Amino acid sequence: MELNACIPDGPLEQKWEKHQFDLKLVNPNNKRNYRILIVGSGLAGGAAAASLAELGYDVACFCYQDSPRRAHSIAAQGGINAAKNYRNDSDSIFRLFYDTVKGGDFRAREANVYRLAQVSNNIIDQCVAQGVPFAREYGGLLDNRSFGGAQVSRTFYARGQTGQQLLLGAYQALERQIGLGQVKMYTRHEMQELILVDGVAKGIVTRDLVTGEIQSHVGDAVILATGGYGNVMYLATYAKGCNTSAIWRAYKKGAAFGNPCYTQIHPTCIPVTGDHQSKLTLMSESLRNDGRIWVPAKHGDQRAPDQIPENERDYYLERKYPSYGNLAPRDISSRAAKQVCDDGRGVGGTGLGVYLDFADATKRLGARKIEERYGNLFEMYERITGEDPYKVPMRIYPATHYTMGGLWVDYNLMSTIPGLFVMGEANFSDHGANRLGASALMQGLADGYFVIPYTLGGYLAGIKPSARPKVDHPSVKEAEESVKARVSRFLSIGGKETPTHFHRELGKILWEYCGMARNEAGLKKALQLIPELREEFWKNLRIPGSGAEVNQTLELAGRVADFMELGELMCLDALERRESCGGHFREEWQTPDGEAVRDDEHFCHVAAWEYTGDGKTPTRHVEPLSFENTHLAVRSYK
């Protein structure tokens, strides 16, 4: 397998413009003869479907929810970055580029990140024009805030619902095209297989989640925008339906999987209360702007928080990282919380939690100001925990939140399978080993609105219009049959346990051995436990009902089956990456005071895994990364 990133040459600032010019164009009259299949209607998929339809392509878009508006992008709270420099605080495209590369611990491609920073400004303009109600100043101009520890105020936001508003903007543009007949929308359809004809992506097989019908759809290009796979951990901040199935099938058909072990654990989530827990809820990072994080200084201190005097508290982030304090980046804050809890100083019923305290801020700013800033978040916290954060400190704990890994793509967002493009969180991303706050929304929309409309055209210009296979082509039939066989296999196991049971068990293994901190022994243990669990899964699964109706147990089983395989690849990747970088922390590679140690000499590359058959160890390919416009510095937030 060859990994050709197709990075245009020339100076960094001119690469994208030059590339756009070099890409071949599709004749406007021909566009409608190309059918594009887009899986996913989140920020990336929704934006792409609308934009490509506006250009005149014949678009079909798929999502598993009942409406494209419900894609998981809707849950993003904090905001979206752009290099507008509206605050005159010395922001620039180059600074956003630099911060993103550095934040990603120098494991991202410079050219991609620079393009991302360049188009970030167009995104804001586009969204404003769509009617996204971004926060405004009294003078009527757009408001910005500093987010996720950035030193400049470049984050645009719409209350605590930025993702929702951006998604609704894309959704409305998409609905307009649906109304005009340019997009055919397939809701409650799940992609189950990718169709290749002579090694080129030409279609997908879906299951209609209402009727159970297995259908093939053929097109001239396939775009996956199916979001992240963090639900592999079972407990995560993702929506329950988020899955890896689409990209996993593509991986098994030959698309390389980039950096599967890079997961982001977000420091401020509501802690687990018990085994019944079905998901974790994120509390916006903005809380860290005013809240102070602490645990009791003594082990096993059971006193109520207000009974613990100031000098017996450990404000560990402020202590360890005096200049960033409570705003230290996500990976660092998360790991620090784990350390104090592992140390036996965690709070709450399970001992897995730390305090996020607003007492000082309330004294300083007054309760009214606090309510103004965080009222809705406090209310949400109160709803979930039954505790009033105006009176007692919040309890928080880290949870899986984002996956930087995903299908490997080149500069054109094309995977190693010709004709298969991957966008948004589903690709291995521009965020390197760690994503900065408010950058995922930016990347999803950049990919969908401003990259794919150009690069896809470049691909399509090279193939004949309407050259797609017929639905009765042998390759199509074969893919369809394999999906049917899989469904019957699930239904015929007739064991005892539910898919949720297996999912929970898988999550425990991964959280323990491939979570916030990893080591060789643990990863090897996981690599032994996961196949055992998988075997048990295929023997002892029980799915009531049939495949020819709504069957949510069957849907879940399919997703869990894929997670079982992905989990193993994550551990393998984590094992092979013998360094600590960003979200990937190997205990063997740390300084005496617990800071990550990168190994640029051996690991300054993307790891891209090639599937070689069931039961066989996949092949690890590398795409070397070079840093010409930034220096490979040690990321320090001291």
Partner 1 sequence: MSNTLTITLHVWRQKNAQDPGGFVEYSAKDISTEMSFLEMLDVVNENLIHKGEEPITFDHDCREGICGQCGLVINGRPHGPRERTTTCQLHMRSFRDGDDIVIEPFRAKAFPVIKDLMVDRSAFDRIISAGGFISVPTGCAPDGNAIPVPKENADLAMDAAACIGCAACVAACPNASAMLFMAAKISQLALLPQGQPERYTRVRDMLTQMDAEAFGTCTNHGECEAACPKSIKLENIARMNRDFIKASLTYRPDTGLGGGA
Partner 2 sequence: MPASQPNALTAGNRAAPFLDSSVGRKVVMAATGTILFGFVTVHMLGNLQAYLGAQVMNHYAEFLRGLLHGGGIWISRAVLLAAVGLHGWAALSLTLANQAARPVSYRAQTYQASTWASRSMRWTGVTLGVFIVYHLLHLTTGQAHPHFIPGDVYRNFVTGFQVPAASVFYIVAQLCLGFHLWHGVWSLTQTFGLAHPRYDPLRRFFAYGIAVLVAGVNISFPIAVLTGIIH
Ligand X SMILES: Cc1cc2nc3c(=O)[nH]c(=O)nc-3n(C[C@H](O)[C@H](O)[C@H](O)COP(=O)(O)OP(=O)(O)OC[C@H]3O[C@@H](n4cnc5c(N)ncnc54)[C@H](O)[C@@H]3O)c2cc1C
Residues that bind partner 2 (CB under 8 A): 178-181, 184-189, 208-211
Is 435 noted as a catalytic residue in this protein? Answer: no
Least distance between partner 1 and beta carbon 401 (Å):
12
Give the one entry of partner 2, ligand X, partner 1, none that residue 181 binds, where binding means its C-beta sits below a cut-off of 5 to 8 angstroms depending on kind: partner 2
Single out the residue of 8, 325, 453, 594 in contact with partner 1 (rule: CB under 8 A).
453
Residues 6+ away with beta carbon under 8 Å from 357: 291, 292, 293, 294, 305, 393, 394
How far is residue 350's CA from residue 337's CA, in Å, rounded to a whole number? 14
The sign of the torsion formed by the CA atoms of 222, 570, 445, 414 equals: negative
State how beta strands 263-269 and 257-258 pair: unpaired
Based on CB atoms, which residue is closest to partner 2, 52 or 566? 52
User: Would you say 80 and 155 are in contact if contact means Cβ atoms under 8 Å apart?
Assistant: yes
Least distance between partner 1 and beta carbon 434 (Å):
23
**Residues 269, 350, 271, CA angle at the centre, nearest 5°?**
10
Q: Which two tokens stand for residue 46?
A: 């929704």
Task: Summarize the chain as % helix, strand, coil (round to 5).
Answer: 40, 15, 40
How far is residue 393's CA from residue 60's CA, in Å, rounded to a whole number? 48
Based on CB atoms, which residue is closest to ligand X, 31 or 154? 154
Least distance between partner 1 and beta carbon 162 (Å):
11
CA 374 to each of CA 225, 333, 369, 389: distance values in angstroms, whole numbers, following the listed order: 32, 21, 9, 10
State how beta strands 200-208 and 214-218 pair: antiparallel
Q: According to the binding rule CB under 8 A, does residue 500 interact with partner 1?
A: yes
Residues 255-284 as x/- pattern, contact with partner 1 by CB under 8 A: ------------------xx-xxxx-xx--
Q: According to the binding rule CB under 6 A, does residue 65 interact with ligand X?
A: yes
User: Would you say 374 and 78 are in contact if contact means Cβ atoms under 8 Å apart?
Assistant: no
Give the one entry of ligand X, partner 1, partner 2, none that residue 43 binds, where binding means its C-beta sits below a cut-off of 5 to 8 angstroms depending on kind: ligand X
Least distance between partner 2 and beta carbon 217 (Å):
11
Q: According to the binding rule CB under 6 A, does residue 246 interact with ligand X?
A: yes
Single out the residue of 45, 353, 405, 515 in contact with ligand X (rule: CB under 6 A).
45
Residues 222-261 as x/- pattern, contact with partner 1 by CB under 8 A: ---------------x-xxx--------------------
Give the one entry of partner 1, partner 2, ligand X, none that residue 208 binds, where binding means its C-beta sits below a cut-off of 5 to 8 angstroms depending on kind: partner 2
State which of positions 336-355 bind partner 1 (CB under 8 A): 349
Distance separating the N- and C-terminal Cα atoms of the chain: 41
Q: Under DSSP, is residue 299 helix (H, G, I), strand (E, B) or coil?
A: coil
Residues 404-443 as x/- pattern, contact with ligand X by CB under 6 A: --------------------xxx----------xxxxx--
Which listed residue (35, 207, 288, 330) is catalytic?
A: 330
Contact range with partner 1 by CB under 8 A, out of 92-100, 131-139, 597-605, 612-620 = 131-139
Based on CB atoms, which residue is closest to ligand X, 47 or 514? 47
Q: Which two tokens stand for residue 45?
A: 């998929």
State which of positions 4-43 bind partner 1 (CB under 8 A): none
# chain residues binding ligand X, by CB under 6 A? 46
Q: Which two tokens stand for residue 404?
A: 């930087």
Residues in the chain: 638
How far is residue 228's CA from residue 266's CA, in Å, rounded to a whole number? 14
**Residues 561, 76, 78, CA angle at the centre, nearest 5°?**
145
Q: Which residue in the block uniquely carries the two structure tokens 């999502």?
A: 63
Single out the residue of 10, 14, 151, 159 in contact with partner 1 (rule: CB under 8 A).
159
DSSP string for residues in 441-478: HHHHHIIIIIIHHHHHHHHHTTS-TT-PPPTTSHHHHH
Residue numbers at the binding site for ligand X (CB under 6 A) = 39-45, 62-65, 71-73, 75-80, 162-163, 190-191, 225-228, 237-238, 242-243, 245-246, 282, 401-402, 424-426, 437-441, 444
Active centre residues (catalytic): 330
